[in-house]
Amino acid sequence: MNSYEHTLIIRQDISESQSKNLIDKYKNIINENLGKVIKLEEWGLKTLSHSIKNNKKGYYLHIKFEGSGKTIQELEKAENIDEMLIRYLTVKVKKLDLETNFFEKKE
């Protein structure tokens, strides 16, 4: 199994319930296609550096998981037709960094 980090940018105008449904949808796609979700980070609403598809902000979601090529293929096939997504990116990593949370809210 290979290790991957996958980042999604979701449109800012979706409701919280739609956001939860999207998270569950993509976790299920990973799990059903020989993958295993290791860590899920919700980075929250961030301002984009430039407008993408008429969106100035986006809700960021970061998934760290293990899987195969089939897992990535099915995940990206579903994301290509999803109107709620602005962008997505999958990066293959040698080792998952489970300690660092880059957008952790500091109190």
Q: Give 34-61 pLDDT, tens digit per residue.
A: 999 999 988 888 999 999 888 999 999 9
pLDDT at 6 over 80: yes
pLDDT at 97: 79
Q: What is the residue extent of each domain of the chain?
A: 2-93
- pLDDT tens sequence across 64-74: 999 998 999 99
CA–CA dist 57, 27 (Å, integer)? 23
The CATH number of domain 2-93 is 3.30.70.60: yes
pTM score, whole prediction: 0.87
Token reading at 107: 């109190």
- Other beta carbons within 10 angstroms of residue 61's beta carbon come to 21
Tell me if 23 sits within 8 A of 43, measured CB to CB. no
